[in-house]
Structure 1
Amino acid sequence: MTDPATGSLRVPGATLHYEVRGRGPLLLLIPGGAGGAASFDGVADDLAAEYTVATYDPRGMSRSPLDDPEAEQHVAEHADDAYRLLELLSPDEPARVFGASSGAITALHLLTAHPHRVARVVAHEPPTVEVLPDAAAQRALLARVQETLRTEGLMPAMAILAAGLQKDGDPAEQKAELELPPQAAARAERTMANLPYFVGRIVPRFMAHVPDLARLRMLSDRLVLACGHDSRGELPHRTAARLAERLGTDLLHFPGGHTGLTTHPAEFGALLRKALEPSGPSAQLP
């Protein structure tokens, strides 16, 4: 793996750690969950053969400290961070953007807020539960997660969240999804350190975020909504499919499940490379 160039960017309320590798048009990779820039270690070098690939730790995660560690988090603020990175790293031309999970929610808001700075967005399983017909049940899930976090602690809250995200399925299938490559396992300590912040302040704000569907519909020619081939029935797959339905767009199926980026990096990266091009696939049916 090539060592990237690193830098820091002051933004309102935080300092962002970012990494850059490769050359060519800018591709900004926005991580989701409790991950940071390292989430993309499995694909960044390959993508850097065609793009200047920028990754970063979102505010409050890993090496991107908040000025106020207790500050509330908002999707618009995280999208503004991404915008400021685009302004720094690609001031003269629109960039391509990929976002995973909560990072996909950031990417969607970035597109609606700053469309002139974005040439193409690929959003993989953004868990925007307010678009679902059973949104009220999902609000109850989020409330239960927060109450459990407050009264019982992190791991019981994580268990409720994980159960709510998954489908009723074969336990062996779910176990296979959790068998991570050595590189991913090596960063587990940092991910675990981010979990209290993620569950307490990212999950409730991001999953309850209501995307601007009218604006996204107008910009759908530069948006690819994506999901995991193996995550059908899971909450993030349902939200991606519902978003695609509401916007009248196709749904691109990536290998693996919600964490296919980690479990199937080579195949995931190859399809992402195609999807980032205007002439790339907008749908891949099973």
Structure 2
Amino acid sequence: MTDLYYDMAGSGPVLLVVPGGAGHPMGLDPLTARLAEQFTVVTYDPLGLAHGRLGEPVADQRVEAWSDGASRVLDAVLPDGQSAYVFGTSAGAVVALDLLARHPERLRHVIAHEPPSVGVLPDGARHQAMFREVYDRYRAQGLAAAAAVMTAGLTSSEPTEVPEIQHLTRDEELANPMALSVIHVLRQFTSYTPDLGTLTSLSARLTLAAGTGSRGQLLHRTASFVAERTRSPFAEFPGGHIGAVEEPAAFAERIAETLVPVDTPGATLTT
């Protein structure tokens, strides 16, 4: 078994946070600090990138491996007889969906924020091809060019021109979480198809979410589609795809409102 990497903060019900990208929780500290006012926040770091492993070799990743690791983290931190909340964003939202489908035993409620599970869409093959093009463009022209292709694909806009080819060295790749995501996570996770049948049977424990700033974009549409297909609630959150980083206080408040009924004493985060 691989080692488990995670951090804990706060007190109260356990809330497992699964970051996006390559799983590095960078930028999430303001969000988790606010959530720790009400929850025992367990931030999962599937590759250990924030725990001394950034710069070490990384293999292609599998959704199921991250999901199994998340289940083991919950086994390690949950007191006997208790269940956990889960919040996953982007690639972490794909993991959250798989975790609920395959390891639902001790899950209280799951929020999946903008999962890039685009294969569920009627035109999903075209969007999956776009994510493969992101990888190909990275190999041909570098990270900025890949980011331009992905931004255009997510927003249905024209790609911006990248003035010059900028390749990273292998050492630079291994030290760059965004590059690791493009190389080892993006194609694998966007080709994953959630078990919509099983998720439908668990819809009372699932909320699909997307940012208000993502309206009209691919991942807002994807989250809404999965919610409709699984008969799960759909909620809008502050900001866009990285709203958890852009607007951490408002985003944390929305998580709390979604997970804990507003009429529960102590449900509102302090200001």
In the aligned structure 1, how far is the partner of 2:48 from the partner of 2:155?
26
CA–CA separation in structure 1 for the residues paired with 2:64 and 2:52: 17
Residues 191 and 127 (structure 1 numbering): CA distance in 2 closer, same or farther, change over 3 Å?
Answer: farther
Contact 2:5 2:48 in 1 (8 A): no
Structure 1 position 24 matched with structure 2 position 12: yes
Residue 85 (structure 1) aligns with: 73
Deviation at 1:263, TM superposition (A): 1.4
Q: Which residue of 2 aligns with 1:165?
A: 154
The aligned counterpart of 2:268 is none
Distance 1:117 1:209 in 2: 23
Paired residue total: 250
Aligned mate of 2:27, from 25, 39, 42: 39
Aligned partners of 1:70 and 1:255: how far apart in 2?
33
- Which of residues 249, 252, 256 in structure 1 aligns to 2:232? 249
4+ runs of 1 displaced by more than 3 Å? 189-192
The Cα shift of 1:279 comes to 7.4
Distance 1:135 1:24 in 2: 40
Q: CA distance change for structure 1 residues 149 and 38 in 2, over 3 Å: closer, same or farther?
A: closer
User: What is the 5 A alignment of 1:82-161?
Assistant: 82-92=70-80, 93-161=82-150
Amino acid at match of 1:63: H
Q: 1:203 matched to which residue of 2? A: 186
Flag structure 2 segments of 5+ consecutive residues without an equivalent. 161-171, 264-271
Would the aligned equivalents of 1:27 and 1:54 in 2 still touch at CA under 8 Å? yes
Task: Please tell me the root mean square deviation across aligned C-alpha atoms, in Å.
Answer: 2.6
Are the counterparts in 1 of residues 206 and 233 from structure 2 also a CA contact under 8 Å?
A: no
CA contact (8 A) 1:120 1:278 kept: no
Unaligned runs of 5+ in 1: 1-11, 172-188, 281-286
Amino acid in structure 1 at the alignment position of 2:30? G
CA offset at residue 63 of structure 1?
2.6
Task: For residue 37 of structure 1, give the secondary structure of its aligned residue in structure 2.
Answer: coil
Amino acid at match of 1:159: A
Instruction: Give CA deviations for 1:138-165 in whole Å, capped at 9, x if unaligned.
Output: 1221221222222333322222122111
Whether the 8 Å contact between 1:31 and 1:39 is mirrored in structure 2 is no
Structure 2 vs 1, CA of residues 139 and 190 (structure 1 numbering), >3 Å: closer, same or farther?
closer
For the structure 1 residues 212 and 34, does the alpha-carbon distance in structure 2 shift closer, same or farther, using more than 3 Å as the test?
same
Other structure's SS at 2:38 match: coil
Distance 2:193 2:76 in 1: 28
Q: Name the % identity.
A: 42
Q: Secondary structure at the match of 2:27?
A: helix
Match of 1:213 among 162, 179, 196: 196
* 1:261 counterpart SS class: helix
